[in-house]
A and B are shown apart, each in its own frame.
Chain A
Amino acid sequence: MSSSYERIFDIPIGPQHPALKEPAMLKLKVDGEHVVGVDLDVSYNHRGIEKAAEYRTYIQNLYLIERICGICNVAQTLTYCLAVESLHGKEIPPRARFLRVVAEEISRINSHLLWLGVAAHEIGFDTFFMHVWLDREITLGLMEALSGNRITSSYNVIGGVRRDVTEELLSRIRKGLDELEPRVKRYREIVLNDRSILKRTQGIGILSPGDAMATSAVGPTLRASGIKSDVRADDPYCSHDQIPFNVITADGCDAHARILVRLDEILESIQMCRHCVSRLPAGPILQRLPRRAPQGEVMSRVEAPRGELFHYISSDGSDKPYRCKVSTPTLANLPALVRMLTSKGKYVVNIADVPVILASIDPCFSCAARVEHSGGV
């Protein structure tokens, strides 16, 4: 008798693998072509940032926290700054709040375009990847003009933002956005009509709305399952109540819907940037805060490109945090990922679809590596 014990094999993928951009270990349990189980180890990037943050002052930590993730560094510093500011109980000037939104949305556009390229690469459509990444350079140019660096921007500081904008820069941002918008619309058309994209993404990596809620998915992964949830709308943190925008959802529940949600979010972000740039309030950009933070505990959350980012800081009244805890969107999406990767009943996952499904949650393992896996070598 052939028992299931003999038919199920383990396929290890990673930590160095052409389909993975970051080190992670996936142990797939396969029965023939079908994936029936998966074991994830995402701890290769664990550095011990949270502990190190306890030994550094609030200002030094800004640069450490920023380097949890290079792609969404603006969201990381923003969440951290919001937490420290609420420890002090201070509001920052309105001009700084608007500038933070501009930086945040530019980095969201950058992150989504980056992801779109990687997703195209995963389905084997390298031409698309090259085109998208060429247009991504526009946002990098804007980021460099705004903050002085292409990737790691250090734009948010405790109490405001680092640099002010000039009229010239504002018009440059407007021009960059104008250049980008038709390109993104064109990509949207391609994603909707191209047969090879549809074939590789439609019906792949299904996450039903019920499963999405049950596994606490966040961000575009959740919104592609038709659930309207966005921290920017639910809990506005940066003058988002004064900026008109729509929360984008899609009902496809598959990898294709996740592409569409992100593309529509780029268009929405372009509108938000335009709004902020044209209605930028005058005034200072920085509110100086004392080095020592009052005693207390605070939490803050931000809608990072990949979903809800959460920080917790506990202060004992000194100039260093007593405890700093970070919970990142990829970490929240991992249970959903495991569910998407497991065949169940009529839903089957082929090995060839694993990279697409993995890419569809836009994983960022350097964020997610919050714990060390013993024996991970």
Chain B
Amino acid sequence: MGIIDWAFRKSPWILHFNTGSCNGCDIEIFAILTPKYDVERLGVMLKGSPRHADVLVVSGPVTRQASGRILRIYEQMPDPKKVVAVGTCCISGGVFSNGGKGACYNVYPGLDSIVPVDAYVPGCPPKPEAILEGISKVAKKAGVD
């Protein structure tokens, strides 16, 4: 395990991007930063710039306007990088694509059609504990594959 993987494991810095979510997942992602869950004790910090981030936490169905942005943000992040898809609608389009029946015309069926995803956190919205587990799982995977 090199020094970069070691740092990644000990302190994954996250970047949050909302690709068209209903805000339900976003406020749960922010909730993990606040005292009740307080992820800073585990070395997780929210960063404002893609260039400082190790883990990209994405919430919401990917809308057509946001799809170009998410790709650009992903490309701006330095390697090694991981992506966590939070929420059912980020994983598969959820209620918005509805398995193709009466789908919203402006959403992609899942984030993994745009960028590679390392962890999926289902739920609508998932509980903060679940989001935390998703982030810690990708951190543990650093350097393994």
Seen from chain A, the residues whose Cβ lies within 8 Å of a Cβ on chain B are 15-18, 21-23, 43-49, 51-52, 54-56, 60, 63-64, 67-71, 73, 114, 117, 129-131, 133-134, 137, 140, 150-152, 364, 366, 369, 372-373, 376-377
Q: Please give, as numbers and ranges, the residues of chain B lying within 8 Å of A131 by CB-CB distance.
A: 35
27 A-B pairs with CB atoms under 8 Å apart are A15-B66, A16-B69, A17-B48, A18-B49, A23-B19, A43-B65, A44-B69, A46-B20, A46-B65, A46-B106, A47-B61, A47-B63, A48-B104, A48-B105, A48-B106, A70-B23, A73-B22, A114-B27, A130-B35, A133-B31, A133-B35, A151-B28, A366-B60, A372-B65, A377-B64, A377-B65, A377-B67
User: Does A70 lie within 8 Å of B19, measured CB to CB?
Assistant: no
User: Does B27 lie within 8 Å of A71, measured CB to CB?
Assistant: yes
CA distance A152 to B124 in the complex (A): 7
User: Does A16 lie within 8 Å of B50, measured CB to CB?
Assistant: yes
Q: Please give, as numbers and ranges, the residues of chain B lying within 8 Å of A373 by CB-CB distance.
A: 65
Min distance, Cβ B101 to any Cβ of chain A, angstroms: 7
CA distance A67 to B25 in the complex (A): 11
CA distance A97 to B21 in the complex (A): 30
Q: Please give, as numbers and ranges, the residues of chain A lying within 8 Å of B27 by CB-CB distance.
A: 70-71, 114, 151
Cβ-based interface call for B13 (8 A): no
User: Does A45 lie within 8 Å of B20, measured CB to CB?
Assistant: yes
Given A22-B26, A44-B69, output 7 extra A-B contacts at Cβ < 8 Å.
A21-B26, A44-B19, A52-B96, A52-B98, A70-B26, A152-B125, A369-B20
User: Does B104 lie within 8 Å of A45, measured CB to CB?
Assistant: no
CA distance A43 to B28 in the complex (A): 23
User: Does A366 lie within 8 Å of B21, measured CB to CB?
Assistant: yes
Contacting A47 at CB < 8 Å: which of B23, B28, B96?
B96
Q: Please give, as numbers and ranges, the residues of chain B lying within 8 Å of A73 by CB-CB distance.
A: 22, 24
Contacting A152 at CB < 8 Å: which of B24, B34, B106?
B24
User: Does B35 lie within 8 Å of A44, measured CB to CB?
Assistant: no
CA distance A121 to B50 in the complex (A): 20
CA distance A114 to B26 in the complex (A): 12
Q: Please give, as numbers and ranges, the residues of chain B lying within 8 Å of A366 by CB-CB distance.
A: 18, 20-23, 60
Given the contacts A23-B66, A71-B23, A47 and B104 also touching, CB distance less than 8 Å: yes
4 tightest CB-CB pairs across the interface, nearest first? Answer: A70-B24, A18-B48, A55-B102, A377-B68
Q: Which residue of B lies closest to A72 (CB)?
A: B23
For chain B, residues 1 to 46, give those with C-beta under 8 angstroms from any C-beta of chain A: 17-28, 30-31, 34-36
How many interface residues does B have (CB within 8 Å)? 44
Q: Which residue of B lies closest to A68 (CB)?
A: B22
CA distance A61 to B70 in the complex (A): 29
Q: Please give, as numbers and ranges, the residues of chain A lying within 8 Å of B105 by CB-CB distance.
A: 48, 51-52
CA distance A372 to B107 in the complex (A): 12
Cβ-based interface call for B95 (8 A): yes
CA distance A222 to B105 in the complex (A): 34
Min distance, Cβ B28 to any Cβ of chain A, angstroms: 7
Given the contacts A23-B69, A151-B125, A152-B124, A44 and B63 also touching, CB distance less than 8 Å: yes
Cβ-based interface call for B127 (8 A): yes
User: Does A45 lie within 8 Å of B69, measured CB to CB?
Assistant: no
Cβ-based interface call for B73 (8 A): yes
User: Does A44 lie within 8 Å of B20, measured CB to CB?
Assistant: yes
CA distance A231 to B63 in the complex (A): 33
User: Does A130 lie within 8 Å of B104, measured CB to CB?
Assistant: no
Q: Please give, as numbers and ranges, the residues of chain B lying within 8 Å of A18 by CB-CB distance.
A: 48-49
| Residue among A43, A46, A47 with the highest chain B CB neighbour number at 10 A | A47
CA distance A51 to B107 in the complex (A): 12
CA distance A369 to B65 in the complex (A): 11
Q: Which residue of B lies closest to A377 (CB)?
A: B68
Given the contacts A23-B69, A48-B105, A377-B68, A67 and B36 also touching, CB distance less than 8 Å: no
User: Does B104 lie within 8 Å of A67, measured CB to CB?
Assistant: no
CA distance A55 to B103 in the complex (A): 8
Q: Which residue of B lies closest to A65 (CB)?
A: B95
Given the contacts A68-B22, A130-B35, A134-B36, A52 and B66 also touching, CB distance less than 8 Å: no
Q: Please give, as numbers and ranges, the residues of chain A lying within 8 Å of B19 by CB-CB distance.
A: 23, 44
Q: Which residue of B lies closest to A22 (CB)?
A: B18
| Residue among A17, A21, A23, A376 with the highest chain B CB neighbour number at 10 A | A23
CA distance A71 to B18 in the complex (A): 14
Contacting A70 at CB < 8 Å: which of B17, B22, B73, B103?
B22
User: Does A364 lie within 8 Å of B65, measured CB to CB?
Assistant: no
User: Does B26 lie within 8 Å of A67, measured CB to CB?
Assistant: no
Given the contacts A15-B66, A55-B102, A45 and B21 also touching, CB distance less than 8 Å: yes
For chain B, residues 50 to 80, give those with C-beta under 8 angstroms from any C-beta of chain A: 50, 60-61, 63-69, 73
